Structure 1
């Protein structure tokens, strides 16, 4: 969503709205696959009137439709304790999503262990010093139980190993009885990379990180140039 369908003002433009609805009217299922928690995308789902499946928190949650959970993948309390220990020993800021809450460096909870209905879903680290990120990423990946991506060049996003937007889309494909080859996906950051590689048509935004552009089948306009609308026009042949 951020850097893709949302412009710099965090809005869905009139042009993007129009072409999203044209795609829906043509019989295409249009859905969000986002790193955000589901609560923060509700206004956009309502704006577009979507009743389609959702992939949220980088694939940690997959929804058959808004409000109807299909599957959830969690970070264990022990893993989050490890991540918190690593993050607080750097000069970086950190945050984490549970099912119902967002915790940050400033309001980190006294207890890591979560109630059964509110487990951890994703951990994030933001560093202004870009030189720290490669070392941190390598350390986290070496642990063997984390999927490490980003939503900007200045952060790392950590989900359970094997859980990403592509794994979420595969769940949706099974639900809809279609193949990944029939999916078109747009994105701009490394948390979109596996999705763009796995989709039948992977489209990088004009503002995408270079690795995403290199992996994509096509590059559209930026998020401030209605790049999603441009991509839909291409797909519809209009």
Structure 2
């Protein structure tokens, strides 16, 4: 029998494969459940691998007016004004080592920077571009190009280094990346139709991002519910007081969770919020009224 969570004060929701349907929409039931949680006094935020630039529209739809956890925890920005609240930057010398490894495997590195509140995209010259990058560069066309060997040398510490390639190429490069003193994750198929690998500061993850935001809001991690569907959600699902895996999540992610909800085709986020956040609030109110009656 699944134990019940403590009273939930904060809900952190992954975007792709979790909040969104396969058609990249927020289902009406999911939006209604999130709004009910907000009305009940819970803080709802997004914890995503996406950049702020392509995350904020979903926060606007949901009426979120607190910081968002973006770039797999490396960048937390206030919403809706976009002010940077916290960063976990990758040291530039390690970023260059990651770049060198990717280039040795003929994979184009993409470097993410934050300059004030402006997100920047840097990359090498086009000899290692591939079709998997086409969609990404269409979405973020303002790319600063420079020689690969100078991408991070004597440059500011970046948010992260990412790469988009076929699954076999990412598999080949992963062992070398894993030897660096950094945090990294990979997914087999991302938003741009390719496998992806991400290199970040050594302690960085969605879990550390959630912990930083929870501390900022004076909320204990035991009072946080995290919902996700992929390997880069694993740490936050494990770290939260109540971790929920989507129904289509890999088995390893499901095994790390307190509960498994329905898929993103079946309103899985709404089901989780209704079952574990809103119901626990109603139960707490009911128990409180019972204690008051006894007194």
TM score, norm. by length of structure 2: 0.72
Q: State whether structure 2 residue 237 is matched by structure 1 residue 196.
A: yes
Q: Report the CA distance between 1:16 and its aligned residue.
A: 1.1
Where do 1:52-71 residues align within 5 Å?
Answer: 52-66=66-80, 67-71=82-86
Tell me the SS of whatever aligns to 1:120: coil
Task: Give the aligned partner of residue 163 of structure 1.
Answer: 204
Greater C-alpha Rg: 2
Where do 1:137-176 residues align within 5 Å?
Answer: 137-144=174-181, 146-152=182-188, 154-176=195-217
CA contact (8 A) 1:64 1:172 kept: no
Q: Which has the higher contact order (CA 8 A, sep 6+)?
A: 2
CA contact (8 A) 2:105 2:173 kept: no
Task: Give the aligned partner of residue 166 of structure 2.
Answer: 128
Task: Give the aligned partner of residue 222 of structure 1.
Answer: 263
1:36 to 33, 50, 53: 50
Q: Tell me the distance in 2 between the aligned counterparts of 1:233 and 1:175.
A: 26
Q: Which stretch shifts more, 61-70 or 226-235? A: 61-70
Alignment RMSD, CA only?
Answer: 2.4
CA displacement, residues 133-182 of structure 1 (integer Å, 9 cap, x when unaligned): 2x5333222221x1011344632221110011111111111111121111
Q: Tell me the distance in 2 between the aligned counterparts of 1:94 and 1:211.
A: 28
CA contact (8 A) 2:121 2:144 kept: no
- The alignment of Structure 1 onto Structure 2 pairs a total of residues equal to 235
Q: Report the CA distance between 1:109 and its aligned residue.
A: 1.8
CA contact (8 A) 2:170 2:197 kept: no
Unmatched segments (≥5 aa) in structure 1: none
